[in-house]
Amino acid sequence: MPSQVIEVIDSHTEGEPTRIIYRGGPELGDGPLPQRVIRFRQEFDEVRRGVINEPRGNDVLVGGLLCQPHDESCSFAVIFFNNHGYLGMCGHGMIGFLVTLKHLGLVDSGEHRIETPVGVVTATLQGDHRVTIENVPSFRYLKDVEIDSEPLGRVVGDVAWGGNWFFLVKNLQEDLDIRNVDRLTWLTKSIRDQLTRQQITGIDNAWIDHMEIFAEAKSSDCDSKNFVLCPGSAYDRSPCGTGTSAKLACLAADGKLQPGQIWRQESIIGSSFQGQYRQPSEQELQAMAQFSESLTPEQPVIVPSITGSAYVCGETKLIFDAADPFRQGIPV
């Protein structure tokens, strides 16, 4: 059996790595993207594991598969994944994706519509590195959810959608410092486990797989600092694009942020995203059919925009030798 070669471009967005498969990836057909994700998971999951996990990757890495879009209004499509499984959207990954397309000579500066499994994202490339993504519509689903966690006591937070499901913790006073990541990881894993035990979910029993803690920003240019735990239990080095979208939705619901008002979110390593939002159109609201029946007027929907910078840092041919016992990655 011959070796398989998969070609990838590596980048990082505000410190968080992205690996885009642009040649040699699995052929998933041309159906709707959610159907292709199912096929990816059922028939080609060894590709995800082999690209992301050791010895070729690591637990913080987010991957993406460049695809042909199903939506004719889009120029490209992408399916994001990590060490745990498949992601609905990925904000830092989308910024890295567009910079990767620029590196490959597939796009120029300007606006591009990109299809994801949870909707269309408009990404605008400004030069070689700076990107603004207008994310999928986002909203707060549950406010002031209380859980009782044995190591932490009473924890209060909001459940919100920003392209992935988030629990945004409100009442923990923690030192959000890079030297404190072991404790922060333990805390957020404990919170996520308790949410699961108490059967607190997103819409349609969706697993709340991202945890987010906030503190006062250490940079004078930012409004807040965060720590984000991703599914698979790695922490986000960037401020998290879908997490910042979820934060903007909560701020908008509380009347603390107005349309067009800038919010600057600092990450655990000191990098930052700039965020703002607008009101959705009727067409955008209609496209949220999977969510709209579960929402009330007290759960306003916003369209967030996130701006950050990405840099290409590698071009790699990944070799999957048929004789390699770890060609499908080391399970962690």
| Residues catalogued as catalytic | 90, 240
Element containing residue 310 per DSSP (H, E): strand 301-320
Token reading at 224: 């807040």
- Which string of b and e fits 99-116 if b means at least 16 CB within 10 Å? bbbbbeeebeeeebbbbb
**Widest CA span in the chain:** 61
Number of H helices, E strands in the chain: 7, 16
Element containing residue 94 per DSSP (H, E): helix 91-103
Per this entry, what is the length of the chain? 332
Distances (CA, A) of 135 to 118, 197, 263, 284: 10, 31, 15, 11
DSSP string, 268-292: TTS-EEEEEEEPPPHHHHHTTHHHH
CA count, 13 A, side-chain hemisphere, 80: 25
Token reading at 87: 């992601």
Do 214 and 225 contact (CB within 8 A), yes or no? Answer: yes
Q: Spell out the SS3 assignment of 29-82.
A: CCCCHHHHHHHHHHHCHHHHHHHHCCCCCCCCCEEEEEECCCCCCCCEEEEEEC
Surface-to-core class of residue 269, CB atoms within 10 Å of its CB (0-12 exposed, 13-18 middle, 19+ buried): middle
Closest CA to 159 of 200, 199, 188: 200
